[in-house]
Amino acid sequence: MSVVLVDYGAGNLRSAAKALEVAGARDLVISSDPEKVAAAARIVLPGDGAFPDCRRGLAAVDGLSEALEEAVHTRGAAFFGICIGMQLLATRGVEHEGADGLDWIPGEVVRITPSDAALKVPHMGWNNLERDRDHPLLKDVPLGPDGLHAFFLHAYHFVPADPQDVLAHADYGGRVTAMVARGNVAGTQFHPEKSQRLGLTLIANFLRWTP
């Protein structure tokens, strides 16, 4: 069962690939080939930078968006988005000129507005996570004040239309969405590949996940 890490010119592929391999991926393929994506059992979509740039990068690879739709919605492949790769699940992002997302989880990606003016944006650094609901991806991941920490680097976050789509959040002068999931689609705002034990446990759970 292949795991495809999607190469569309956005995201730290080397770090993500290394984390996937350490977590147990034995059949990892890094590819932008629509045929490989369409046939994959599991898909990981990374993303760094700005929402509109990543959306354009995805659309620029001929047939890739259609391959993702076929794999995820027609065949039910497990999907995991990282950072902007997670934000692209939204209906729309308002960063810069704004752009439409994949609309797989209805909602918007909006700028973080901490209640404390001393908190800088972008939000960069380590935060613990608060669980909003149980999910197989969170199995054996200690959360809460005494739990593990995740590494964030972002100025915008995803606010789903349905709060039930949020798995976990961080507190950064208010709620900041950390994880989302709906059906066979999930993602994290933080970088699991940089989040040490928390990230590796989460990735290992994804590799075992059968939505």
Annotated catalytic residue: which of 123, 154, 169, 191? 191
Q: In whole angstroms, how far apart are CA 137 and each of 33, 151, 169, 205, 209?
A: 27, 17, 14, 5, 7
- The conformation of residue 102, written as its DSSP 8-state character, comes to -
pLDDT of residue 10: 85
Q: Is 154 a catalytic residue?
A: no
Residues of the chain with pLDDT under 70: 1
Q: Is 69 a catalytic residue?
A: no
Annotated catalytic residue: which of 83, 108, 154, 169? 83
Q: In whole angstroms, how far apart are CA 148 and each of 135, 172, 197?
A: 17, 16, 8
For 100-138, write each residue's pLDDT tens digit: 999 999 999 999 999 999 999 999 999 999 999 999 999
Annotated catalytic residue: which of 108, 135, 154, 193? 193
pLDDT of residue 1: 60
Strand order in the sheet with 92-93: 99-100, 92-93, 107-111, 156-160
pTM beyond 0.85: the answer is: yes
pLDDT of residue 8: 95
Task: Kindly give the residue spans of alpha helices, DSSP state H, lying in the chain.
Answer: 13-23, 34-39, 51-60, 64-69, 84-87, 196-208
Q: Is 193 a catalytic residue?
A: yes
pLDDT of residue 12: 84
